[in-house]
Amino acid sequence: MSEINTILSGLFVTLALATAIAWILQRRNSVSHSIQNLNARIRAWWIIIPISATALLLGPTAILLLFALVSALALREYLPQGLHPALFLILGLQYLWIYFDYNIAFHLWIPVWALLTRKHAWALLLCVYSISYIPALLYLKIPGYTGRNALLVVFLVLLTQASDVLQYIWGRLLGRHLIAPILSPSKTVEGLIGGIACATALGASLWSITPFTPLQTAGMAFLITSAGFLGGLLLSAIKRKRGIKDWGNILQGHGGILDRIDSLILSAPLFFYITQTLN
């Protein structure tokens, strides 16, 4: 718990510092679109971080319920025309399998449903199945790591979100070459390289909160931030196909829930399975 408190304290200090810097920049140049966007993102983080911190401090059940809620909101954004009650039943069962540690049902329930019915398959796979791997980290049996699994959730979410922010910053500072102009016009090669490099270094510095060696942690950080980038591109491709800019507007400056968790769609299952394999 002391490790989580230290990380959360660092996040709040960083957020307060970012708020102060953004306020100064706003005073100097209030018409800059980049500064306005930065301030909007920071305001959204003042909502996201306290909610996440509260769940972490309350324990595994609160974390599980938080991500179940995130999945429900993501489903609502992915299927704006209306949700069939059966989808909530499927969602609820997926998270119950985690709570009761029914591993076979957790891994196979939604993929089998999607394969047999093909109804709303992508919605369930992207919004529920992939995201459920985050709280599933809490129930992994890792020798010598008992009682610390919440740190795996912190590591995964912190790194993927930090990579997003760092890619945005590097892209604004040095971005010249677009990496996928049709799918995501704002992402650049320079932003990608700088963001993932810095996020990998950040991940390596956090090796002590993981069950991995420093080298393994650095490799893990590189893999999950790279997967996070690909997950963002995947969701961007779906948005472009639908002709929308954001999935929603629940978070001013961040769009919708899916806009915020897109980097976890691929990285969460990847991180879970590699962690399980290594331990």
Nearest partner of 129 among 152, 110, 156, 104, judged by Cα: 110
Q: What is the DSSP string of 120-144?
A: SHHHHIIIIIHHHHHHHGGG---TT
Report yes or no: 190 and 175 within 8 Å, Cβ to Cβ. Answer: yes
Pair (122, 217) in one structural domain: no
Q: What is the DSSP string of 37-68?
A: HHHHHHHHHHHHHHHHHHHHHH-HHHHHHHHH
Provide the 3-class DSSP secondary structure of residue 33: helix
Taking each helix axis from N to C end, the angle separating 60-78 and 150-174, rounded to the nearest 10 degrees, works out to 50
Pair (54, 66) in one structural domain: no
Pair (123, 210) in one structural domain: no
CA distance 214 to 253: 35
Report yes or no: 212 and 278 within 8 Å, Cβ to Cβ. Answer: yes
Mean pLDDT by 10 residues, the chain (279 residues): 85 89 77 72 85 93 97 93 86 96 93 88 95 97 93 96 88 86 85 94 95 96 96 92 86 80 96 94
Pair (43, 29) in one structural domain: yes
pTM of this structure: 0.93
Report yes or no: 170 and 195 within 8 Å, Cβ to Cβ. Answer: yes
Report yes or no: 42 and 24 within 8 Å, Cβ to Cβ. Answer: no
Domain end: 21, 39, 58, which one? 58
Pair (162, 109) in one structural domain: no
Nearest partner of 262 among 229, 225, 224, judged by Cα: 229
Pair (183, 273) in one structural domain: yes
Domain extent at residue 105:
61-139
Helix, strand, coil share (%) of the chain residues, nearest 5:
75, 0, 20
* Tally of domains in the chain: 3
Pair (191, 248) in one structural domain: yes
Pair (200, 272) in one structural domain: yes
Report yes or no: 133 and 269 within 8 Å, Cβ to Cβ. Answer: yes
Domain end: 112, 139, 166, which one? 139
State the DSSP code for 210: S
Pair (27, 98) in one structural domain: no
Q: Provide the pLDDT for residue 174.
A: 87
Pair (71, 35) in one structural domain: no
Pair (278, 150) in one structural domain: yes
State the DSSP code for 186: T
Report yes or no: 110 and 246 within 8 Å, Cβ to Cβ. Answer: no
Report yes or no: 245 and 211 within 8 Å, Cβ to Cβ. Answer: no
Pair (278, 152) in one structural domain: yes
Domain end: 58, 81, 96, which one? 58
